[in-house]
Amino acid sequence: MNQPLLVTATQKAGPRLTLAIGAVVVLLLVALPLCSLLPADHALHVSAYTLTLVGKILCYAIVALALDLVWGYAGLLSLGHGLFFALGGYAMGMYLMRQAAGDGLPGFMTFLSWTELPWYWAGTQHFAWALCLVVLAPGLLALVFGWFAFRSRIKGVYFSIMTQALTFAGMLLFFRNETGFGGNNGFTSFRTILGFDIAAQGTRAVLFLLTVALLLASLYLCWRLTRSKFGRLLTAVRDAENRMMFCGYDPRGFKLLVWVLSAVLCGLAGALYVPQVGIINPSEMSPTNSIEAAVWVALGGRGTLIGPLLGAGLVNGMKSWFTVAFPEFWLFFLGALFILVTLYLPKGVVGLLKKRSQP
């Protein structure tokens, strides 16, 4: 076979191989919750710990995908996506706390001698309103912040610092008991969701499958978006914003739309994270968490969509092992990983694989 035919065959095989690997991964993910329903002594049984761990990583993968949308395609490095993730989690946590309290006040309010619910807790006993809050809380905050930031033409490292300051301010606010969100303990001790026992294996399996469905839907949405005319304009914002403005486009609207969409995806991921993990507290808003998300995207390969999913899985898998074996060294390892990826893998793992696959 001559060289041109070999190159053509390789180019055609690449997408097919990717689709085949993706299909296998999806089948394995769908099989996990089904295996968790098997008896504990069965060879294929999956423990509740494993199911929760993988479900948590899948939620983080959605955050990585959302960050890749704004950083990889629009060139906006956010160090505050942990705030949007936590807001979605708190919105769902409010509903779960109301379900656990019944007709009374949530436990932490009783402990603090509160006599009535704050006004912003109104309606949180209804699941439909909780879902609205999951979308509205991060979406409106992103809209307001983005409108002022992009209107002021803040970009680059200044934008990153502002997003980090935003999430740090949110963390400090939620740590205060008087804000009505449980202080440093946050929300925990959930019992039911839509009337189902939240600790039951069947409920956990359904939540896991919903997380898989949200990840696939988010991936498809981002894929369609980035390969449309809008996606090409986003990359123009990233690579040549001034030239884009010279051509008559206003980049502020494109930035704002993708910024709000990214925040909403994070909020949805947080809403599925909370009932699976069983707790939400202000530590989820820590700037360290947002920096970790940037490491996921950088390691996997920004601007690739698949890369951030791979990065989130690799880093969180290593974190689960590292924090048990060498907990005091995890942050040092994370920092070293980010430096090494920046220096030697600027296009991430996906970029390295593409380079090696080229004839």
Is 83 contained in some domain?
yes
Angle of the 229-239 helix axis to the 201-226 helix axis, nearest 10: 80
Q: What is the pLDDT of residue 357?
A: 63
Q: What is the per-residue pLDDT across 283-301, written as a single tens digit (0 to 9) for each?
A: 999 998 999 999 999 999 9
State the CB neighbour count (10 A cutoff) for residue 6. 11
Tokens of 97: 């706390």
Question: For residue 86, which of 133, 28, 21, 26 has the smallest C-alpha distance?
Answer: 133
Q: What is the DSSP string of 215-274?
A: HHHHHHHHHHHHTSHHHHHHHHHHH-HHHHHHTT--HHHHHHHHHHHHHHHHHHHHHHHH
Between CA 3 and CA 358 the distance in angstroms is 12
The closest of 112, 101, 120, 83 to 178, measured between CA atoms, is 112
Tally of domains within the chain: 1
Contact indicator for 71, 77 with CB cutoff of 8 Å: yes
- The C-alpha atoms of residue 96 and residue 282 are separated, in whole angstroms, by 17
Joined together, the tokens standing for residue 105 give 């006040």
Whether residue 202 lies inside any domain: the answer is: yes
Point out which residues pair with 354 in neighbouring strands. Answer: none
Report how far residue 283's alpha carbon sits from residue 186's, in angstroms, rounded to the nearest whole number. 9
The enclosing H or E element of 130 equals helix 127-151
For residue range 317-343, what is the model confidence (pLDDT) as tens digits? Answer: 888 888 888 888 888 888 888 888 888
Encode pLDDT of 67-107 as tens digits: 999 999 999 999 999 999 999 999 999 999 999 998 889 98
Name the 3-class secondary structure at 196.
Answer: strand
CA atoms within 13 A on the CB side of 293: 33
Of 13-27, 61-75, 99-113, 196-210, the one with minimum mean pLDDT is 13-27
Note whether residue 30 is domain-resident. no
Q: Domain range spanning residue 256?
A: 49-356
Question: How far is the C-alpha of 96 from the C-alpha of 310, rounded, in Å?
Answer: 31
Could you give the CA distance from residue 273 to residue 276 in angstroms, rounded to a whole number?
5
Using CA of residue 102, residue 106, residue 111, residue 113, what is the dihedral sign?
Answer: negative
The per-residue pLDDT for range 23-80, each reduced to its tens digit, is 888 899 999 998 888 888 888 888 888 999 999 999 999 999 999 999 999 999 999 9
Q: What angle do CA 339, 342, 346 make, to 5 degrees?
A: 160
H/E element holding 110? helix 107-111
Find the radius of gyration of the CA atoms of the chain: 21
Residue 35 lies in a domain: no
Residue of 139, 56, 81, 85 whose CA lies nearest to 267: 85
Pairing of strands 192-193, 187-188: unpaired
Find out whether 255 and 76 touch, Cβ atoms under 8 Å.
Answer: yes
The first and second tokens of residue 259, run together, are 């910024």
Burial grade of 143 (CB within 10 A; 0-12, 13-18, 19 or more): middle
Q: Is residue 320 part of a domain?
A: yes
- State percent of the chain over pLDDT 90: 61
Q: Is residue 39 part of a domain?
A: no
Is residue 5 assigned to a domain? Answer: no
Instruction: Show Cβ contacts of residue 357 under 8 Å, excluding neighbours closer than 6 positions.
Output: 10, 14
Residue 159 in domain: yes
For residue range 242-283, list pLDDT tens digits in order: 888 888 888 899 999 999 999 999 999 999 999 999 999 999
Span 310-322, pLDDT tens digits: 999 999 988 888 8
Say which residues have a Cβ less than 8 Å from residue 271's Cβ, sequence separation at least 6.
88, 89, 91, 92, 131, 134
